[in-house]
Chains A and B, each alone.
Chain A
Amino acid sequence: MKQMVINGFYIVFFIMVAAYRPLMAADITITAKVDRTVVAENQTFTYTIELSGDKVNSLNGDPELPDVSGFATFLGSSGTSQNVQITMGKMSVTKSQSYTYMANKVGTFEIGPATVEYRGKQYKTDPIPIEVVKQNSTSQSRQSNRRGRTQSQSQSQNNASIEDNLFLKTAISKRTVYVNEPVILTYKIYTNVTVTSYGVAKEPNTIGFWVEDFPMRQQPQTKREMYEGREFVVADIKKMALFPTEAGEKEISPMQIECDVRVQNRSSRSMFDSFFDDPFFGRSVRYSVFSPPVKLNVLPLPAEGKPRDFSGAVGSFNVTATIDKNEVHTNEALALKVTIAGTGNIKIIPEPVIQFPEGFERYDPKVTENIDRNGNRISGSKTYEYVLIPRYTGKKNIPSIEFSYFNPANGSYQRARTGPIVIDVTKGKDEFAVSGTGLSKEEVQLIGKDIRYIQTHAPAFRKIGNYFYNSFLFAVLAIVPILGVGVAVGQRHHLDKLNGNVAYARSRRANQMAMNRLKKAKKALSESTQKEFYAEVANALMGFLADKLNIEAAGIITDEVEGMMTSKKIEVNVIEQYMNCLKTCDFQRFAPANSGLDEMKSFYEQAKDAIIALEKVI
């Protein structure tokens, strides 16, 4: 419905402009035009400035526009158009720019000259007179209708009746919707006058919606409908499905329609009146109608029960998957078709997640979309077509393909799924055509990387900061073996004694014992205790020998001693020395001769030497 009549005017106009070219291309020519010189109040008109000449392109800056704020408001400008013509080696350029205004005051006005400056010279357009006529007068024809109108009625009355006989209404399927749930908005024109043509002057503002227009017939189908007790001709002029993209209170701004309405021209009551009282010869008046604004309450999708894989699809859908053949040879292509069909926002549905089995070569899917805008809803289907080439034999399983959507009819999330598909891949003829992969063993492929799982066995808790090396147990374990060694040494000693190895011990201690006894003898070294002295020395000598040879000292007699020492293979002079000492002792003990102190001292030394000498050899 975008074939705008006004646009049509522009096009015609531009063609005219293009065709026009100054014969004598002066430096600059500036002309101005309006598309019509008589406009109705609140109606738009287009003002066009045209610059031509071979120097147009060297102009800098736009022409200065006349001030029309007294009777019109500026709506916008269309783009510039340019036409270059080369005639007989001369180039002429025509540039035009259109500005759209809306007349807002009744009366006769003049559009002042537009100016452009080039090389210090001002070029001006001629002023254009323009007449703005009243569109709606205060109407007394509220009760009048087409039939009741008499020929005596004035033209103004006819004009005034337009307001009551031409208006827009909207029909909306739902006022409270969920995000992405479509709402059908229909614009209807109600008319009781003859509308020769109409066009959309201003589209409704649909920010926050995704819009899907329903196709409309070129010539709207009309029907008759009663409204407020009167019969109107009604036609749907625009129908669209709105998918709100965000939650909240939304308002769709009014749509503006411009209609050309034929009005009978009856300025005189001549005989020709009846002839001219015909729509064909009527006068055409441009008239703007506005639709009422539309308010919508958009609800957010409930968070409760929202599936993880929810992609935003709202409506009612089903998903099907078909495969062209279930049995296939390796390296033969097969096609998997996944179709999501239903009503709702089909377009935004993303590619479904399909877990393809290993061993398939897969190509990006071919996506086809089929949107059906007929009837009162937007429905359709989206098909993903995958080409799969199996590389290995075996029964392959494509698990069920799932798809979740929100169903606004019952306000809950639903899930559509296909059945699983089993493909039996058998060995093809050209098995060897596959590069070596069929021959080598397949490596274990790491599909994902994740941390290892937690430990679940019962741990041994311990106090933080407690380490074995500074624990009590550690100290005990360090000290106990040392004590053990000490104990072992003692035990060894004890065992030695028990084992009767006294001879060794006696022998080790013999020297010490002998020296001790000699010390005793030294104490008795005086004339009065002569006897005791010799007894002690003898004791030392005998004791030493007894210890060394591990025999009982009390049981031995001097004569035996010599034999014992001889049997131990001790040198003769050592034995002789030792025996001399012993004999001296015996002699002095049993047949004491008064010996002097000096003699006793020298004997003491003699005995000591004998013991030392014996100790060295025994």
Chain B
Amino acid sequence: MTILEMCQWLQDTSIGTQIRESVWTFPILEGTHLLMIAISVGTLLTMDLRLAGLLFKRQKVSEVTKAVMPISLFGFTVMFITGVFLFLSQAVKAYGSIYFKLKLFFLLLAGINALVFELTMRRTIHSWDADPVPPFRARLAGISGMILWAGVIAAGRTMAYNF
């Protein structure tokens, strides 16, 4: 089974068909998806700005992270689930869209960026937690995170123009 055939199969499942043919489900899913992007990425932004040494300089990095992470993860979870449903309903179109691939690519890079940070800088956080401007690699992770998420959002929005 090729990926395209798999997309066709996904789209033809009863759930994919129901969403596509509904009057309300699709707009509600998409509205929720958008709102959750704003919640998760918007709150993540405060954390990234702290990592970049641009905001909340008097707060510890771990304090800002602890405060913001649960909200961001909640938003991300709902965004991800609604995103999967939206994809299901238009899998073939999404497969053919360069912007959808670009979006997944940015999403993957954002994930790698976060993972690298967790595996390296997070382990030494106690030594720079209170620094107003964190070490270079932490700032880099914060700035990369902001750019990559902006890419995810812009690619996602552009995708819809080619549908």
Instruction: Determine if chain A interacts with chain B.
Output: no
User: CB within 8 Å of B: which residues of A?
Assistant: none
Q: Using CB atoms and an 8 Å cutoff, list the residues of chain B in contact with chain A.
A: none
